[in-house]
Amino acid sequence: MSTDQPLVRLRGVGKSFGSARVLTGIDLDVRRGEVVVVIGPSGSGKSTLCRCVNRLETADEGSIEIEGRPLPAEGADLARLRADVGMVFQSFNLFAHKTVRDNVMLGPVRVRGLSRADARKRAEELLERVGVGAHGDKYPAQLSGGQQQRVAIARALAMEPRVLLFDEPTSALDPEMIHEVLDVMTALAAEGMTMIVVTHEMGFARKAADRVVFMAEGRIAESAAPEDFFGSPQTERARDFLARVL
């Protein structure tokens, strides 16, 4: 495999729900270690784009490759894809009836085939790393939203993903908890994790993004380094959007 091959490669990706076209002609390369922040108005297709990349939705046009391999259609290959392409959702999606530690151990045991002892060790390390090391025995509902989201990040990391997708990971959080989640994400970015991050946190985009992708009406309207995008957006749509969020 050549080293300049993108980790994630989308070409001409399109998606419709019934007669509603949601994504059109999406071309996107994400290199190893790159942090791509996706922004854009509500309904512009950001979530659908993420969901197509880890195959929660099926793109109906174009191609999506991870490390040069097309997304698998189903079966064991799909479970492995979901392990390679981690996702962190706005709503945490932790298993409510399992402890924090078990939430983090489950995937590695079931999908990666780790022993329970190894999975437990990895879970403890990761919970420590995201700052919730003391809460492994608790259930998700006993934690704050910010803590739950950090557990969700630890759970995704436990699978040793090639790339992590974040879909508005701080949108459901009280303001005082947003930073503790963004700090974990910033640290991951600095450590070289490949990340696609949908967010309205423009401070994070400026600081952590290698590239900002601006979506409008299901298309990529702009793709630029953060200083260029925020300094001189090229489209009217992006200028309007920034005027509203900044």
Binding residues for ligand ADP (CB under 6 A): 17, 20, 22, 40, 42-48
Annotate each residue in 175-204 with x if it binds Mg ion (CB under 5 A) or - if it does not, as one string. Answer: ------------------------------
Supply the minimum distance, in Å, between the C-beta of residue 24 and ligand ADP.
11
Please say whether the beta carbons of 131 and 180 come within 8 A: yes
Supply the minimum distance, in Å, between the C-beta of residue 93 and ligand ADP.
16
Cα–Cα distance measured from residue 38 to residue 113, given in angstroms and rounded to the nearest whole number: 33
Q: How many residues bind Mg ion (CB under 5 A)?
A: 2
- Residue 44 touches which of ligand ADP, Mg ion, none (Cβ within 5-8 Å per kind): ligand ADP
Cβ-based nearer residue to ligand ADP, 50 or 164: 50
- The Cα-based distances of 188 to 112, 130, 175 in angstroms read 21, 10, 21
The secondary structure element, H or E, covering residue 139 is none
> Which residues on adjacent β-strands are paired with residue 69?
66
Rg of the chain, C-alpha, whole Å = 18
Which residues ranging from 40 to 59 are in contact with Mg ion (CB under 5 A)? 46-47
Cβ-based nearer residue to ligand ADP, 45 or 161: 45
Cα–Cα distance measured from residue 122 to residue 117, given in angstroms and rounded to the nearest whole number: 9
The site for Mg ion (CB under 5 A) is made up of 46-47
